[in-house]
């Protein structure tokens, strides 16, 4: 394999948020735009990979012809799509910001305003990276993402082990210009025996850094 080429490699990549319905017009979600995930998809494709991109709701558009987008809305839908695609992929990248919880019983009709309080019972969503980590076959390389606000490194390392990841990309909401709704990001990549920190950069360049590190671990 030539330097920094992923020719012939299939990559499964999740991106964007998930929206968990409360009723037909309301949902639980987050501020993810999908920019980081789509930047990774474009970068992988430019370097020869065939990318299966499972994307939550976003305004981002995949440009490269080697990117196949499977649009989804909820965490359950994202997991179902990723579970089908994962066995054929050599690299798994979980860049989506999946909602941790969902309403236990979404209403099939719009909930009318009444009283001063509304209680919604929530249940845990499937942890997509963790579930697919249990099914990871020898030779598959998996990458997770962690957006933290405190004890960042400790929480990221815990996820690295819990989800059977080979590396996890950490960014902190405490860093200006990082996190949701920015065109830049500042990351630290944590592995079992290595920590690699990068400066604040445009997300397209951050994607290059991440993919170069993946290439080094697999083929360097």
pLDDT digits (tens, 9 = 90+) for 36-80: 999 999 999 999 999 999 999 999 999 999 999 999 999 999 999
Q: Which residue has the higher pLDDT, 140 or 175?
A: 140
Is residue 114 a part of any domain in this protein?
no
β-pairing, 188-191 with 167-172?
antiparallel
Q: How many domains does the chain have?
A: 1
Is residue 203 a part of any domain in this protein?
yes
pLDDT (0 to 100) of residue 153: 82
* Torsion (CA) 153, 158, 161, 164 in degrees, nearest 10: -90
Average model confidence (pLDDT) for the chain?
Answer: 91
Is residue 116 a part of any domain in this protein?
no
pLDDT (0 to 100) of residue 219: 87
Model confidence at 211, pLDDT cuts 50, 70, 90, reads: very high
Which residues, in sequence order, are CB contacts of 40 under 8 Å at separation 6+? Answer: 13, 15, 93, 95, 207, 210, 211
User: Which one, of 55, 21, 64, lies nearest residue 36 by Cα?
Assistant: 55
Query: For 125-173, where are the E strands, in sequence order?
Result: 141-148, 167-172
State the CATH number of the domain containing residue 183. Answer: 3.40.50.10300
Known catalytic residue at 30 = yes
pLDDT (0 to 100) of residue 46: 96
d(CA 100, CA 48): 33
CB 124 within 8 A of CB 130: no
Active-site position among 30, 59, 151, 171: 30
Is residue 109 a part of any domain in this protein?
no
d(CA 198, CA 184): 12
Is residue 80 a part of any domain in this protein?
yes
The answer to whether residue 214 scores a pLDDT higher than 60 is: yes
pLDDT digits (tens, 9 = 90+) for 120-173: 999 999 999 999 999 999 999 999 998 776 777 888 899 999 999 999 999 866
Is residue 89 a part of any domain in this protein?
yes
Model confidence at 9, pLDDT cuts 50, 70, 90, reads: very high
Is residue 112 a part of any domain in this protein?
no
Give the range of the structural domain holding residue 36, as residue numbers without chain letter.
10-102+121-219
Is residue 82 a part of any domain in this protein?
yes
The answer to whether residue 1 scores a pLDDT higher than 50 is: no
């Amino acid at each position: 394999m030539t330097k920094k080429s992923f020719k012939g490699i299939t990559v499964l990549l999740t991106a964007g948020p998930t929206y968990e319905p409360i009723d037909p017009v309301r949902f639980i979600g987050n501020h993810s735009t999908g920019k980081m995930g789509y930047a990774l998809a474009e970068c992988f494709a430019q370097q020869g990979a065939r990318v299966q991109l499972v994307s939550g709701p976003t305004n981002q558009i995949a440009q490269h012809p080697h990117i196949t987008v499977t649009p989804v809305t909820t965490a359950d839908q994202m997991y179902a799509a990723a579970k089908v695609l994962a066995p054929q992929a050599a690299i798994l990248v979980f860049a989506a910001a999946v909602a941790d919880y969902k309403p236990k019983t979404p209403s099939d009709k719009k909930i009318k305003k009444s009283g001063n309080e509304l209680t919604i019972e929530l249940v845990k969503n499937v942890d997509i990276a963790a579930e697919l980590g249990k099914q990871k076959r020898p030779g598959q390389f998996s990458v997770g993402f962690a957006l933290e606000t405190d004890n960042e490194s400790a929480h990221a390392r815990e996820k690295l082990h819990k989800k059977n990841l080979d590396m996890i990309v950490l960014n902190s909401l405490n860093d200006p210009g990082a996190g949701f709704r920015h065109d830049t990001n500042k990351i630290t990549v944590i592995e079992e025996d290595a920590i690699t920190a990068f400066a604040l950069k445009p997300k397209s360049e951050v994607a290059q850094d991440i993919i170069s590190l993946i290439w080094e671990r697999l083929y360097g």
